[in-house]
Amino acid sequence: MNYKSGICTFCGTGCGHLLDVRGDKVHGVFPLQNHPVSKGRLCVRGWNVHELLSTPERITTPLIRKNGKLTEASYDEAIAYLVENLSKYKKGAADEIGFLASPRSSNEENYLLMKLARAVFNTNNINLDSEPGHRTTLDVMHNATGMAGMLGSLEEIRKAEVILVAGIDITKQNPIIGSEIHMAARAGAKVVTIDTRNTQIAKLSSTFLQIRPGAYRIAMAYMAKVLIDEKIYDAEFVKRNAEGYDAFAASLSSLSDADVAEKTGVTTDELKAVARDLAGAKTAMVFFSSGISGFPKETVSYILNLFLLAGKIGREGCGVNPITGINNLQGSYDMGIAPDLLPGFQAVSDKAALDRFGKEWGVSLNATPGKTVYDLLATNKLKALVVVDHDETIIRNAIEISKLDFVAFMGAYKHDCMNYAHVVLPIAEYIATDGTYTNTERRVQLSKKKVEPEKGILPGWKLYATIAAKAGAKWNYAAPADVMAEIAKLTPNYAGITYDKLQALGGVKWGGARLDADKLPKKLSFAAVAGNFAVPQASEEYPILLLVGEAQHYWHQNNLMKKTNLPLREYNATLLLYPQGYVAISPQNAKELNVRDRFPVKIVSPYGSMEAMVQVTDKVKPNTAYVAYFVDEMVTKFFMEHKDVLKRGEDATIPVRIAKV
């Protein structure tokens, strides 16, 4: 049959699909009915994946920059050039070499890239873009529960009586998870959305609390306080399973009803009602974004603590569920793509763990955690950078990157980053090799090879092995399955995972279906919190709080969607309406400014200004404004000045003044 089963490559949901493969071409896609997560559904991105897989915008040959121009080269030449240049900095690798990995690469490829950085080029400087996003969330989860991943299960969404959706436009970011939540609501679950914007899921919820920007933390803390004050928290569960209750309870004492109402912009009665629902239900889940638009550490901590108090962790139909926006974001952290992490969330500073890796790899490894590429770029010490198949956020640092001595780009699709690269190495598309991907709920799924790589292009795992060989290392992998065998050997939560086991539809979930409160290796602990409930304040000079968020067709300034046709049209539809990008403001603000939809305005912050058009919408509240990341032509320069703000994710706000031009 020409339809071959596989895993969608876009977001962290990990939907199953069937690709219409004839020869080496993909002619269409169809949803997979028996897939445990997607159950025969796909979103706009998934329904058009074959357009990406048919794009001529691929990198088809290795390239070396000669006299300022990228010129065709053989793999031998390009790999030799790469190794020669990276080797120059091997001595000072701790400061001078950086690897920017991709959350889209398979586990095997990321594992080998990580091994290449650490074992061959002596550096722990390897990271993703989402250190402030998913990483922060994983830290909170890991510290509190020992599980560095989503605590609940997507398959159990329909078993939850109460579903809290916090600050995530989930029907846009992960549409099929949004669909599951909606289906649960149709079957009687109570869905509560807390968001600054009136999103689609807000419209589909039984309760929608439109809070002020940056007030998620205080709202969550207040609901925890209600559980304690009204003595409706699950005292037995907490006593039996958790540590740190007293300190957490004490941190809430400073909250006053008046303060909460003022800062959140919703009434305390509304928050109390949600808290009571949470406590009264048998099962409850919370969903929030953990990607670049995720919450800061404190907010995640309060969410976790609230659910711990309510006893809605570690049981069927329950869970604290951070949702990844990119297909293998979870897997990339599982594979140790972080300056201070080895695979399986083992610390680089953990000597026993490091020795296990060193022994297996036959090298001695550096026990000092590395730095992120972004931190290194800021110090001006970085000399050489390797970037793999990335979304476009890297371009925010174009100026620093263009000053580097050596930049290598590896990827399947053409990318703006190639403009700064000295060498470019093509990687075969994901359907041209076997590989595993770990979705947001820790589900490891095998995507099988469906086509031959174009014109002898190497799949990532083979490319990295060839680079390692050129640099003098001896790696023996005949196939990606061998890489998984090594991963399983060294990574406790992947122990026992083999390609044979992954043949089953839906793969294998590490850590079990969900965190299990009856089988905890150690007690759960309340996340440490600072008890600081300040919220961002607008001033007279800058009266509007500007938020940054996601959009359906171009989430994360996505390089991939620009290579499609239909989703590209949808993107262009927005751009044609708002050629300069847009800032969404409320009808009330529009009236005050005397502007209508598509009027040009100037947005001024304490650090800089930009021009954009307004989109007038009742989705945002008065004195709140919203820009989508994806309009990078518009936001890139502006946000250069706001890097720190972006690190704070969904709670990130920039006070601005908007003026008619």
Partner 1 sequence: MYLIKKSQVSDIAKELQKEYQVYGPVVDKETKQTMFVKADDIAEIDLAAPIPAVPPKHTVFPHYERIMAYNYDPQSKKVDINPDFDDKPKALFGLRSCDLTGVICLDRFYLGQEFVDEVYKNHRKKMFIVTNTCNVPFKQCFCVCTDSGPSAREGYDLNLTDLGDQYLVEAGSDKGKALAEKLGLAKADDSYKKKKEEIVDESILKFDSIAKDNKAWVSRVVNRVTTGLIEEKTWEYIGNQCIECGACSFVCPSCSCFNIVDSCTSATAADRIRTWDSCSYEGYTRMAGGHNPRKPVEDRRSKRFFCKLSYSQSKKYLRPGCVGCGRCQWVCPGDIGLPNVVTYIRREIQK
What are the DSSP calls for 6-35, one per residue?
A: EE--SSTT--EEEEEEETTEEEEEEE-TT-
Amino acid at 341: L
Pick the binder of partner 1 from 254, 256, 572, 609 (CB under 8 A): 572
Please, which residue, 29 or 116, has the CB nearer to partner 1?
29
Per-residue x/- marks for partner 1, 189-228, CB under 8 A? -----------x--xx------------------------
Does residue 34 belong to the site contacting partner 1 (CB under 8 A)?
yes
Does residue 186 belong to the site contacting partner 1 (CB under 8 A)?
yes
Q: Which stretch binds partner 1 (CB under 8 A): 43-51, 84-92, 253-261, 299-307?
A: 43-51
Please, which residue, 297 or 553, has the CB nearer to partner 1?
553
Q: Which stretch binds partner 1 (CB under 8 A): 23-31, 519-527, 603-611, 635-643?
A: 23-31
Does residue 188 belong to the site contacting partner 1 (CB under 8 A)?
no
Q: Which stretch binds partner 1 (CB under 8 A): 38-46, 81-89, 109-117, 137-145?
A: 38-46
Pick the binder of partner 1 from 8, 29, 226, 408 (CB under 8 A): 29
In angstroms, what CA-CA distances link 10 with 327, 334, 439, 548? 5, 18, 10, 21
Q: Which residue has the tokens 């962290």?
A: 12
Per-residue x/- marks for partner 1, 491-520, CB under 8 A? --------------x---------------
Pick the binder of partner 1 from 12, 46, 339, 549 (CB under 8 A): 46
Angle between helices 75-87 and 460-470 (to 10 degrees): 60
Pick the binder of partner 1 from 3, 361, 499, 542 (CB under 8 A): 3
φ and ψ of 524, to 5 deg: -70, 155
- CB of 8: closest distance to partner 1 in angstroms? 12
Does residue 570 belong to the site contacting partner 1 (CB under 8 A)?
yes
Answer yes or no: are the C-beta atoms of 441 and 13 closer than 8 Å. Answer: no
Pick the binder of partner 1 from 12, 103, 178, 322 (CB under 8 A): 178
41 CB-near residues (< 8 Å, 6+ apart): 15, 31, 176, 179
- Strand 69-72 vs strand 97-100: parallel, antiparallel, or unpaired? unpaired
Does residue 575 belong to the site contacting partner 1 (CB under 8 A)?
no
- CB of 174: closest distance to partner 1 in angstroms? 11
61 CB-near residues (< 8 Å, 6+ apart): 72, 73, 426, 455
C-alpha–C-alpha distance, residues 9 and 25, integer Å? 17
Residues from 523 through 552 that contact partner 1 (CB under 8 A): 552
- CB of 605: closest distance to partner 1 in angstroms? 29
φ and ψ of 514, to 5 deg: -155, 170
Is the C-alpha dihedral spanning 618, 621, 623, 625 positive or negative?
A: negative
Does residue 620 belong to the site contacting partner 1 (CB under 8 A)?
no
Q: Which stretch binds partner 1 (CB under 8 A): 51-59, 66-74, 401-409, 473-481?
A: 51-59
Q: Which stretch binds partner 1 (CB under 8 A): 282-290, 371-379, 566-574, 619-627?
A: 566-574
- CB of 53: closest distance to partner 1 in angstroms? 10
In angstroms, what CA-CA distances link 526 with 269, 277, 480? 26, 21, 39
Does residue 56 belong to the site contacting partner 1 (CB under 8 A)?
yes
Please, which residue, 16 or 149, has the CB nearer to partner 1?
16
- CB of 17: closest distance to partner 1 in angstroms? 10
Please, which residue, 50 or 514, has the CB nearer to partner 1?
50
299 CB-near residues (< 8 Å, 6+ apart): 216, 217, 220, 651
Does residue 419 belong to the site contacting partner 1 (CB under 8 A)?
no
- CB of 617: closest distance to partner 1 in angstroms? 11
Does residue 50 belong to the site contacting partner 1 (CB under 8 A)?
yes
What are the DSSP calls for 543-558, one per residue?
A: -EEEEEE--STTTTS-
Please, which residue, 200 or 498, has the CB nearer to partner 1?
200
Pick the binder of partner 1 from 30, 361, 542, 599 (CB under 8 A): 30
Please, which residue, 399 or 577, has the CB nearer to partner 1?
577
In angstroms, what CA-CA distances link 394 with 42, 333, 387, 404? 29, 19, 9, 14
Angle between helices 216-229 and 297-309 (to 10 degrees): 20
Residue 471 token pair: 């640099």
Is the C-alpha dihedral spanning 206, 211, 213, 215 positive or negative?
A: negative
Q: Which stretch binds partner 1 (CB under 8 A): 15-23, 63-71, 266-274, 450-458?
A: 15-23
Say what the alpha-carbon torsion angle 613, 618, 621, 627 is, to the nearest 10 degrees.
-30
Please, which residue, 46 or 336, has the CB nearer to partner 1?
46
Of the candidates 413, 423, 408, 378, the one whose C-alpha atom is nearest the C-alpha of residue 396 is 378
> How many CB atoms neighbour CB 613 within 10 A?
18
Does residue 441 belong to the site contacting partner 1 (CB under 8 A)?
no
Residue 104 token pair: 């889209």
Does residue 265 belong to the site contacting partner 1 (CB under 8 A)?
no
Amino acid at 168: I
Answer yes or no: are the C-beta atoms of 139 and 296 closer than 8 Å. Answer: no
Does residue 558 belong to the site contacting partner 1 (CB under 8 A)?
no
Mapping DSSP to helix (H, G, I), strand (E, B) and coil, where does residue 105 land?
coil
Residues from 305 through 364 that contact partner 1 (CB under 8 A): none
Q: Which residues pair with 61 in a beta bridge?
A: none
Please, which residue, 50 or 134, has the CB nearer to partner 1?
50
Q: Which stretch binds partner 1 (CB under 8 A): 2-10, 127-135, 286-294, 627-635?
A: 2-10
Of the candidates 333, 291, 327, 470, the one whose C-alpha atom is nearest the C-alpha of residue 8 is 327
Give the number of residues in contact with partner 1, rule: CB under 8 A: 48
Residues that bind partner 1 (CB under 8 A): 1-3, 5, 16, 18, 20, 27-34, 40-44, 46-47, 50-51, 54-56, 171, 175-176, 178-179, 182-183, 186, 200, 203-204, 505, 552, 565-566, 569-570, 572-573, 576-577
